[in-house]
Structure 1
Amino acid sequence: MSDSATSAAGTVLAPVASNERIQALDVVRGFALVGIFLMNIEFFNRPLAALGEGLPATATGLNWLAGWLIYNFVQGKFWTMFSLLFGMGFAVMLTRAERAERNFLRPYLRRIAALAAFGTIHHIFIWGGDILFSYAVGATALLIVIYGRWYWILAGLVALIGIGFIPGGDPVFQVAASLALMGAAALFLRNERGLQLPSGGKVPVFSAIMLTIALLVAIVAALAWLGIGPPAQARIPLTIFASVLTLFGVLSAKFHDPISQRKRSLGVGMYLFPFVMMTSFGLAQWLGPKPADVDAAAKPAISASASDSTAAKAPVSKEQADADKKAAAERAEKKAAREKRLKEQAEQIAEERKILTEGSYVSAVKLRAGEFAEHAAGEAGFAIVIVGMFLLGAWFVRSGIMENTAAHLPLFRKLALFGIPIGCGLGLIGSAIATGNSPDLPQGMYQTAMGMTLIGNLPACLGYVGLMVVMLHSRGIFSNVRLLAPAGRMALTNYLTQSLIGTTVFYGYGLGYWGIGRAWQVVFVFTVFALQIAFSHWWLSKFRYGPMEWLWRAITYWQLPAMRRVAVD
């Protein structure tokens, strides 16, 4: 099946009819909604600036237990699931367009633009924890990976780098870096060329580039270990960077073929690479030699002839003393920078809490508008991870797995059987190390914990998807998960409604119930979500689409879909 967009004059792409929907996708969407709500409600009652603080230190009893369970078995597993589902939706739309020989790109670009508008409005006017704008940026990046021409990518890079040198244009460099990575991903996905080996094998161009970079970094690391060139403190980071690049370079060559599996391989790689790097650096910083030990190891060796006790007490050279002084100054600077960052975060948390508990709706909108403007450029970096999940989701559909889940039940059983324990197990190990970034916690320790948790989110997410599909096809009580399907069909409406209800109930400009315990938050979530399921069933018995789904489709296909349900779809 080709991944190219096709078009035919005079033919337009239409919304998915009810009888064409994949029920498993709707069930998983419904399940993802409750997980998203369990995560989000904490930050309807807590400043978003406190996102990295982990479990509240004051929580006890049922509140602590509820927080611990959500932190380990929910947090991070469901935005990845939503991302996976978005990629599946992309592939469903593309597949239908190809089968009907209809245009795909124009409707999809309108779909992305609408999603970006929804996300912007949601973030500024309702709640600052929006994910929709991130998905719009990720969807744009996905189009670059799948359809981008190398010369357009190169031209975009040159233009962005040029803009970056304009005063105040520094954030654009992050966009340029993301565009370069998307170009590299496109190279892996669509390039068939390779370097011929003497043994007769072939190394893909993408892998060859990655391995070449790894070799260059390894050479620089070797020079650092020999005391030439880079400072001693760069030895371990350079060695880790070269090692991880080599690992992923070798794996990219091994899993480049067959073509039908490339989306899966690339998706998994794009998701895991930054978090494997994070965990590796964190472990080295936490368990490796401390800067003082590295400095000591870097000192010139004392000659054998001066090994007696008198020689050992010889004065340190001026050069070495200057090097020690410089290293100590760098360590002090890093410590001061971290303390400053944590102090600024504490001030931001206090300001956000005051505005959301005591301020007006207008002041909250101003706060969120400022945050949106400040963080919008950073979405380009997050897009790398999101695109990885999109590609993996697209593979599930393009491979035919999601279109015929019954025929692939053994795969879904394996995903549930292995993905959940492995993913949640990694998360439990991470949370045992640390759950938050407190001032007295070594940075490497926190970085290791977060890296392990983020790595574990991928298998856990896939395991939950597998579990839902297996339950859907069971014959007992577990098959009732199909009741989630209507809520999943109205996922956008329900997601936005959760934010609207949550902020209205908990923020100061609403009912003001800010700060209820974590256990009561769980009760609130399941109560509201039960009502959403009931409402979704009722609504879809009368209408074809949820309100926001109808609007999104109208913009996507540039026509007004029939809203009221008739006797036969």
Structure 2
Amino acid sequence: MDQTLAPVALTPVTSDERIQSLDVVRGFALIGILLMNVEFFNRATAAIGSGMQTGLTGANYWVSYFVQYFVTGKFWTIFSLLFGMGFAVMLMRAERAGRSFLVPYMRRIAALAVFGALHHVFLFAGDILFSYAVAATALLVVLYGRFKWIVLAMALCIGGGFIPHMDWLFGIAGGLAFFGLAAWWLRGEQRMKRFGKPPVIAFVHMLAGAIAAIAGAVSWAVPDTPPEARFGLALLGFALLTLGYLTMRYHADKAGRPWRLGVGIYCFAFFMMTGAGASMYFFPEKPAAVMTTAEAKKEKEAAAERAKARREREARIREETAVLSKGSYTHAVTLRTGRFGEHAAGEVGFATILIGMFLIGTWFVRAGIMEKASAHLPLFRKLALYGLPFGIGMGLLGSAIAMHPVPGSRGADGWQLAMGLQMLGNLPASLGYVSVVILMLHSASPLNKVRVLAPFGRMALTNYLTQSVVASTFFFGYGFGNWGMSRVEQMLFVVVLAAAQIVFSHVWLSRFRYGPMEWLWRAVTYWQVPPMRIKTPAIMPAVVTPA
């Protein structure tokens, strides 16, 4: 009698199935995340995005400078790429097993959101896990969402936004519009019947770009138009026209669409940020010499609003500093709980950037580049050779313009321009860092000892959360109270903690298949209890059934 194998159940990845290069890169990224986060166990997270801390001198200054321009922004980008790679690995395994992917993945996202929310409230307000959960949901919309349901959800959010205290739904509606456009670019096959039959999405980009460019040109003829509006419209027009042209040229390559869309999303966002910053820096808005009473009143009100926003931000920083440096654990949890809603409401905007990274990471795996890294070393050499100098160089160029914002400058301080340059450089720098690690791993020299990071990376979730447990206990007032430790001492803390975690990861994984949190995450994802101890068989025999 003929026999066939029944569909294999979708189960957690076993040790033999893991892609070692991903684990090594993940371990490397964890060290970078700790280097970046340790500052905000000694400084209010409300100050994130405000550049280098002022008043530093000597070694503390140079440590802060190194972290700001060689670490900050690079390692959450690497983790975002890795998240996309993990998504692709799970998707490909589901395809090979002939099993549904969406239900387990939705459980995986839900569990990650819970982990992130609990992490934010009980340990550290600088959490990134909840952000990834929101972005992972957005990625599903981009990859699988039906357009009619996306439009319906947008309509419901817009309608709900008019309900008192529900205006945050407008932000979700805007995010859904963006995700719908991204889905159209990625999956749309419609073509124009004229003009050489370009993709419809390319025509839409070109049309929108032309309208923005014309509006920008007209704005120069309109007196008293703010410079940022003039330059903003011109830049938007240029960016959309460029995207339309590139879409016409490269949209036919379906396999390459994910990375092209990912790069396009990232570059578009930060090109606009950089352009707006440049316009404010080089062409600062100057108060009119003569204003009408109404104009003077409007300017005074705007200045008052800006001053109020600054005072509120400074008050938030003071409150967080006081609570975390001297307050009780109950006070800290209360503070973080109260601010979690604001944090969650802003995640849709951040997701528009993260899905770009996810798509690039997905392409790296589906194209076989990470699984067969040794066959793609020339690509990694190019990424390292060009990505690192360009990416780091953009940040250093920004540092020559501004290292932190000047209150009340309205962009004339160059801070937005500097941040835009640094953000534009973060993606190539991150790809360069990843490439260097891959090249080290496949080197015949002692550099291949970098593989020692693999167990550390396999337990990434456990180690990430453990870093917060240890750091919050060590630095915050309700623990050992070492808040405000110098930047040099913070680096020593990072070295000791990372080394201890690397050793612990090796010891733990010599006895167990997964880290504790990885085990829990997999149990929820696959809705079954995976074997933990190594002596337990990792894979159950395939079930053979008659045809």
- The aligned counterpart of 1:258 is 253
Residues 1:501 and 2:486 are matched in the alignment: no
Q: Which residue of 2 is the match for residue 279 of structure 1? A: 274
1: CA distance, partners of 2:248 / 2:405: 37
Counterpart of 1:519 in structure 2 is: 488
Report the counterpart of residue 541 of structure 2 in structure 1: none
Q: Which residue identity does 1:16 align to in structure 2?
A: V
Residues 1:442 and 1:538: Cα distance change in structure 2 (over 3 Å)? same
CA–CA distance in structure 2, aligned partners of residues 20 and 412 of structure 1: 23
- Trace 1:27-38 onto structure 2 (pairs within 5 A): 27-38=24-35
* Structure 1 segment 69-468 matched on structure 2, within 5 A: 69-198=66-195, 200=196, 202-227=197-222, 234-288=229-283, 290-292=285-287, 326-439=294-407, 441-444=409-412, 445-468=414-437
Q: 1:326 Cα deviation (Å)? A: 4.9
* Paired residues of 2:157 and 2:173 also in contact (CA < 8 A): yes
Counterpart CA distance in 1 for 2:223 and 2:386 is 47
1:160 Cα offset (Å): 0.6
Q: Give the direction of change, closer, same or farther, for the CA distance of 1:506–1:233 in structure 2 (3 Å limit).
A: closer
**8 Å Cα contact 2:227/2:285 also seen in 1:** no
Name stretches of at least 5 consecutive residues in structure 1 with no aligned partner. 1-7, 297-320
Instruction: Find the counterpart in structure 1 of residue 543 from structure 2.
Output: none
- Report the Cα distance in structure 2 between the residues aligned to 1:542 and 1:270, rounded to whole angstroms: 43
CA distance in 1, matches of 2:408, 2:146: 49
Is contact 2:227–2:283 with CA below 8 Å preserved after alignment? Answer: no
Distance in 2, matches of 1:231 and 1:401, equals 47
Asked if 1:562 is matched to 2:531, the reply is: yes
Alpha-carbon separation, structure 2, partners of 1:222 and 1:271:
26
- Call closer, same or farther: CA 1:56–1:271 in 2, change over 3 Å: same
Distance in 2 separating the partners of 1:77 and 1:536: 24
* Distance in 1 between residues matched to 2:228 and 2:90, nearest whole Å: 50
In structure 1, distance between residues paired with 2:137 and 2:227? 41
Between the aligned partners of 2:231 and 2:68, the Cα distance in structure 1 is 32
In the TM superposition, residue 249 of structure 1 has moved relative to its aligned partner by 2.6
Give the residue type in structure 2 aligned to 1:565. Answer: I
Amino acid across the alignment from 1:561: P
**Structure 1 residues 247, 509: CA separation in 2 closer, same or farther (over 3 Å shift)?**
same
Query: Identity rate of aligned residues, in percent?
Result: 53
In the alignment, the residues of structure 1 paired with residue 376 and residue 142 of structure 2 have an alpha-carbon distance, to the nearest angstrom, of: 28
Asked if 2 retains the 8 angstrom alpha-carbon contact of 1:53 and 1:438, the reply is no
Q: Per-residue displacement from partner, 1:187-239 (whole Å, max 9, x unpaired)?
A: 000011122444x3x32222222222222223333333333997887433322
Alignment of 1:56-67 (within 5 A): 56-67=53-64
Within the alignment, does 1:26 sit opposite 2:2 as a pair? no
**Residue 334 of structure 1, CA deviation:** 3.6
- 1:95-125 CA distances to partner (integer Å, 9 max, x unpaired)? 0111121111110000000000000000001
SS in 1 for 2:86: helix
* Counterparts of 1:147 and 1:280, CA distance in 2: 33
CA distance in 1, matches of 2:521, 2:506: 20
Letter in 2 for 1:483: V
Counterpart-to-counterpart distance in 1, 2:294 and 2:252 = 50
Give 2:497's aligned amino acid: V
Structure 2 vs 1, CA of residues 264 and 232 (structure 1 numbering), >3 Å: closer, same or farther? Answer: closer
Contact map agreement 2:231 2:275 (CA 8 A) in 1:
no
- CA positional deviation for 1:377: 1.1
Q: Secondary structure at the match of 1:402?
A: coil
Structure 1 CA distance, aligned partners of 2:300 and 2:9?
63
User: CA separation of 1:215/1:333 partners in 2, compared to 1, >3 Å: closer, same or farther?
Assistant: farther
Equivalent residue, structure 1, for 2:510: 541
**Shift of the alpha carbon at 1:169?**
1.4
Provide, for residues 299-352 of structure 1, a one-character-per-residue CA deviation record: whole Å limited to 9, x for no partner.
Answer: xxxxxxxxxxxxxxxxxxxxxx76x55555544444333222222111111111
CA separation of 1:290/1:373 partners in 2, compared to 1, >3 Å: closer, same or farther?
A: closer
- Give me the whole-angstrom Cα distance separating, in 1, the residues matched to 2:391 and 2:152: 40
* Pair 484,332 (structure 1): closer, same or farther in 2 beyond 3 Å: same
- TM-score between both structures, scaled by the size of structure 2: 0.94
Distance 1:242 1:342 in 2: 32
Partners of 1:98 and 1:30 in 2: CA distance? 28
Q: Which has the larger radius of gyration?
A: 1
C-alpha separation in 2, matches of 1:229 and 1:287: 17
The code of the aligned residue for 2:503 comes to A
The answer to whether the Cα contact below 8 Å between 1:220 and 1:230 also exists between their aligned partners in 2 is no
Q: Distance in 1 between matches of 2:52 and 2:411?
A: 17
More moved, 250-259 vs 56-65: 250-259
Q: Are 1:233 and 1:291, in contact at CA under 8 Å, matched by a contact in 2?
A: no
**TM-score using structure 1 length:** 0.90
Q: Gaps spanning 5+ residues in structure 2: where?
A: 539-547
Contact 1:12 1:103 in 2 (8 A): no
Q: Distance in 1 between matches of 2:192 and 2:94?
A: 36
Whole-angstrom CA distance in 2 between matches of 1:375 and 1:281: 25
AA aligned opposite 1:170: D
Cα distance in structure 1, aligned partners of 2:213 and 2:71:
39
1:354 and 1:229 map into 2 onto residues whose CA distance is 45
User: What CA distance in whole angstroms lies between the structure 1 residues aligned with 2:293 and 2:428?
Assistant: 46
Compared CA separation, residues 415 and 538, structure 1 to 2 (3 A): same
Query: Do 2:7 and 2:98's aligned partners in 1 also have CA atoms closer than 8 Å?
Result: no
Cα distance between partner residues in 1 of 2:455 and 2:247: 40
| Per-residue deviation, residues 498-529 of structure 1 (Å, max 9, x unmatched) | 00000000000000011111011111101110
Q: CA RMSD in A?
A: 2.0
What does residue 480 of structure 1 align with? Answer: 449
Q: Which residue of 2 aligns with 1:318?
A: none
1:5-59 per-position Cα deviation (integer Å, ceiling 9, x unaligned): xxx9975310001100000000000000000000000000111111133212221
CA pair 330-460 structure 1, distance change in 2 beyond 3 A: farther
Q: Is the 8 A contact 1:112 1:140 kept in 2?
A: yes
Structure 2 CA distance for partners of 1:467 and 1:568, relative to 1, 3 Å: farther
For the residues of structure 1 that align with 2:94 and 2:267, how far apart are their CA atoms? 31
The 3 A distance-change label for structure 1 pair 54 and 77 is: same
